[in-house]
Structure 1
Amino acid sequence: MGKKILIVDDERDILDLYVGLAKKEGCDVRAASSGEEALAAMKEGDFDLVLLDLFMPGMSGKQVLEAIHSNPRLKNLRVVFLTVADSSTTGRGVIKQFASVEYVQKPLSVHEFVSTLRRLLG
């Protein structure tokens, strides 16, 4: 059985693409389209990695990360933000808030997603 990952993104097309690619890489994948859904999934099972959209309506990726860090069972979970924030002044400000969390800039091509996933799980 492959690594267990949770992919969280409110954009359904992107979520479906990433889930399909991760499954082709042999991962055991769970998908969530909101922060609330992601936290519910984490209560039900353990994951090796969470790929978390930073900007979502409702509960943001930041709020999900805060909930993860406040839960003793989850606080050591590896979380990587998926974000459209870039190295522009605005993007740097957002990313700087989460210096301890790795991030990957969206959009990712199929090749970029697969190579990033392999690196993260390697």
Structure 2
Amino acid sequence: MPYRRLEIAAIIPSFAYIHSHLWCTNAPIINFNVVEWYHGDRVLRQFGCIQYIPDPPCKVGEVHGINKRGKQELHWGVKQQRFITVWNDRLARIPQMDMSFDLQALLEYIQWYCSMGKPYILGG
């Protein structure tokens, strides 16, 4: 696991690992009016795991247009309740994490990535 290699672990304080089981969860990160979806299933190789085809991105919709102007009385816990409910269930939203000992990508993932991503670096 790259984040557990000795040379990296030596510079990361031990308290940073306390909730490491949540590093790959798929859940919203909420700060009052700001909601960003964290797609932990897209970074499994960083944690030494087999990278499977990730779930489609979750769109938080109208949340990006919300600001706090003129909303001093708004209760954000009520306004963002649907995201809070998902966050409270974050332990059930951790993807399958099978260790990869050679960090070789699965053929299915490579095929998916080539069809969905941009696998080429273009010179400028």
* Same fold per superposition (TM over 0.5): no
Q: Which has the higher contact order (CA 8 A, sep 6+)?
A: 2
| Range of TM-score over shorter length | under 0.3
Q: When you count strand as a share of all residues, which structure comes out higher?
A: 1
TM-score (norm 2): 0.27
